Amino acid sequence: MPEDPVLGRSTMNIGVISGGRAPNVIPDDATAELAIRLVSDAAPIRKAISRAVGGRAELREVLCIPALRFDRLDGFETSVVAYTTDVPVFGNAWGKPYLLGPGSIHVAHTGEERVPKKELLAASGIYQQMVKKLLATA
């Protein structure tokens, strides 16, 4: 799997496996769903997976979002994270994108998803500072 000096290592998760009808019966069919977070071009990984499957199964790519590198603003803390965002869907419709917000990725998209009120209030202040900084540099 590819690695990047800033974005780190690519990751792969086999999140869904299903098939068969009994433990003592060879399954008629089976499926597996993989989520791969790439830090570089997807083409070499597509080829590697295709070679590994070798025509013994159907491969279907559902979604491919390229690895993203966002700009940073001086005075704002940054970090590299191992998940993706819908930001590429917007293209350049709103100008240069920045990605930030309250909450924890550890509970995002789960039954426990929540954002503490304290973090929402702090985020409001961060957004105000960010707008002022962007307006001052425009």
pLDDT of the residue at 21: 93
Rounded Cα–Cα distance for residues 67 and 54 (Å):
27
Rounded Cα–Cα distance for residues 105 and 113 (Å):
9
61 domain-assigned: no
91 and 49, same structural domain?
Answer: no
Which pTM does this prediction carry?
Answer: 0.69
pLDDT of the residue at 81: 83
Residues 6+ apart with CB under 8 A from 65: 84, 85, 88
Residues of the chain with pLDDT under 70: none
**CA dist 49 → 34, 61, 90, 113, 119 (Å):** 11, 11, 29, 33, 41
Structural domain boundaries, residue 27: 3-53
58 domain-assigned: no
pLDDT of the residue at 26: 94
